[in-house]
Amino acid sequence: MIRELLIKLVSETQCLVYGRDIVIELVSQATSKLDGNLNLLDIGCGDGTDLTNIRDRIEPNRGGKKYANKYYGIETEAKNIQAAKQQGIQVLSANIEKDRLPFDNEFFDIVIINQVLEHTKELFFIFGELSRIMKKNAILVVGVPNLASFHNRIALLFGFQPPTIELLSAHIRGFTKNDFKKFVETDGFFELIEYKGSGFYPFPMKMSKLLGKLFPTMAVGSFYKIRRMDKDGNFILILDNFSFETPYKRNLFL
């Protein structure tokens, strides 16, 4: 009975993992300080929900001015590509772990990558491409499951695999705030400027929302607002400073 209750509570609050309100808030904050036409990209855009929500929020709230913002998505599932295109999003297909992203250098003002990185091995390659396609001072919004969440800590305390990185799942990466900050800020290409949490298993909706705000480093989902710094070059070059026993893919498009 207890197990069934916990499963029910988790399923009711699972939507908070995607942090859609947080993503909208972080992007809206960034765009409010920008002028002119903007280029926005959502990597792993799904059916375009995040981008359409953002468009609905920011279009009427930039000083009453009309802008010709452009919305792009990277997606691989045909059904999602069709749905996103119907929302007016320019969708392209690419394998972000091995393909050069089909955009010019320093093209984007805002990039979103929500609930994607936990599925990837080639973080160095991905951030190399991000460092290439983002303008200087552009904003990156990242959402990932939190390995240090309350429920993951409890699971590990009792000798269970943290659900966020169970072997019988699609997740192959685990993220905590401090370690992700260390990664992205290596060598000065990016700077973490804001962090938020969303959801708190296994509590009901109202309490889950409150606890996620009060204790973000123990929330289910982690959300990062990151600035592309002025440094020239490509993030992938930090691999020259380390000797890993994993043959990470290097960017061949420098």
pLDDT at 223: 98
pLDDT in tens, the chain (254 residues): 444 544 555 677 888 889 999 999 999 999 988 888 899 999 999 999 999 999 988 876 555 566 779 999 999 999 999 999 999 999 999 999 999 999 999 999 999 999 999 999 999 999 999 999 999 999 999 999 999 999 999 999 999 999 999 999 999 999 999 999 999 999 999 999 999 999 999 888 999 999 999 999 999 999 999 999 999 999 999 999 999 999 999 887 76
Q: In this structure, what token pair is assigned to residue 11?
A: 């399923």
pTM for the model stands at 0.93
* Exposed/middle/buried for residue 214 (C-beta within 10 Å: 0-12, 13-18, 19+): exposed
Distance of CA 8 to the CA centre of its chain: 26
Specify the pairing of strand 39-43 against strand 70-74.
parallel
Look at residue 121 in the predicted model and tell me its pLDDT: 97
Domain extent listing, the chain: 2-145+173-232
| CATH of span 2-145+173-232 | 3.40.50.150
Tokens at 149, concatenated: 């969440």
CA–CA distance from 182 to each of 12, 34, 134, 142 (Å)? 33, 27, 20, 15
